[in-house]
Structure 1
Amino acid sequence: MTTDPPPEPTGAPAPTSTARGARLAFRRWRRTRPFWAALWTGTGGFVIFFLPMAPLGQILQVGVGGIAGMSGGVVLMAMALLILLLPGQRHTAGVIAVIAGVASFPLSNLGGLFVGMALSVLGGSMAFAWLPEKPARRRGGRGLLRRTRSAAETPVPPVSVGSGSP
């Protein structure tokens, strides 16, 4: 007695299609906000925060410098989240990220050995400069009417009289 294999389900989506759909949805979401600016700012804050991390006894010996470095890293990571989640506040968050990154130079081991400072300044400046993508122009509509008008229907610009030209 032989049995046939069970038929393949036809209505179920392939496992790669859900992964592809999730990737495309993430890509669409990422393009609506300054993603790379937030990534660089957060990475710079992470470096500045964790570079002075040491056992508590050493941090207490370092004193305010170690705590200031860690608080600067926390501020930078918070600005990265703000840049990512509220793109409308990117200018304020970008300026604060640049200021906190530059302030980390004297406060936290030369700004996370220059790496954290450079990343946070790069991310803050990218966030400040980012512009949302303009929507695509619609085809048809008003543009079609402008193209079909005759030369007689187009308005003539006003001429200035007495402009002082010879």
Structure 2
Amino acid sequence: MTRTDPPAPGVPETAAVPETAGVPETAGVSEAPPSAPARARRAFRRWRRTRPFWAALWMALGGFVIFFLPMAPLGKILQVGVGGVAGMAGGVVIMAMALLVLALPGQRHTAGTIAVIAGVASFPLSNLGGLFAGMALSVLGGAMAFGWLPEKPAKRPGGLLRRRTRATDGTPASPVSVGSGSV
């Protein structure tokens, strides 16, 4: 499609510039909607960023190692006694704290602290803390959960301070004082 304007004097008609010069050919074509796996990946990424996901993953792996490393037939566990059961209970507690951190990110401090304590307690209770690997992963995940902070919200205009508007006579108003209540 060419312009309907006549060409400038001295310019042949065959040199007329099409209207779409400089515009990419795909400008009028809309993109195809993302596929189902791409949408699912984006949704998972959004969900993951609102929680201490990696902390929960490390805690769960540490609890898994602590729980399943001493696994033996029930007869052997009963012969070992309370020590074998206590080690397995520590692994279950750590895995439960990993689920708690994912389900309730607001409880991350409590869950992280309990995971660190259970991970360190697994050292004497469960085969040297799952041969050190489970203990290290549990402590790492618990510390990450404790230190995780949610994404900062966007700044709101106005900030935290309340300001009074100017008085009607044009003089500035006194600042608002929120103190001990004394006048």
Correspondence for 1:147: none
1-structure distance, mates of 2:102, 2:136: 19
Q: Which amino acid aligns with 1:94?
A: G
2-structure distance, mates of 1:142, 1:62: 65
Total equivalences in the alignment: 132
Q: Give aligned-pair identity as a percent.
A: 80
Q: Which amino acid aligns with 2:136?
A: A
Runs of 4+ displaced beyond 4 Å = none
Following TM superposition, by how much is the alpha carbon of 1:142 offset from its aligned partner in structure 2, in angstroms? 5.7
Runs of 5+ consecutive residues of structure 1 not aligned to the other structure: 1-12, 144-153, 156-166
Task: Normalising by structure 2, report the TM-score.
Answer: 0.67
What's the CA shift string for 1:44-79, capped at 9, x where partnerless? 000000000001111111111110010000000000
What's the CA shift string for 1:15-66, capped at 9, x where partnerless? x611100000000000000000000001000000000000111111111111
Cα RMSD (Å) of the superposition?
2.1
More contact order relative to length (CA 8 Å, sep ≥ 6): 1
Following TM superposition, by how much is the alpha carbon of 1:137 offset from its aligned partner in structure 2, in angstroms? 3.8
Which is helix-richer, 1 or 2?
A: 1
Correspondence for 1:17: 35
2-structure distance, mates of 1:127, 1:97: 9
The 3-state SS of whatever aligns with 1:136 is coil
Larger Rg: 2
2-structure distance, mates of 1:142, 1:126: 33
Q: Does residue 37 of structure 1 match 2:55?
A: yes
Runs of 5+ consecutive residues of structure 2 not aligned to the other structure: 1-31, 160-171, 174-183
1:15-164 to 2 correspondences below 5 Å: 17-137=35-155
The 3-state SS of whatever aligns with 1:116 is helix
Task: Normalising by structure 1, report the TM-score.
Answer: 0.74
Following TM superposition, by how much is the alpha carbon of 1:135 offset from its aligned partner in structure 2, in angstroms? 2.1
Q: Which amino acid aligns with 1:109?
A: N
What's the CA shift string for 1:78-125, capped at 9, x where partnerless? 000001110000000000000000000000000000000000000000
1:90–1:142 CA distance, 2 compared to 1 (3 A): closer
2-structure distance, mates of 1:79, 1:42: 8
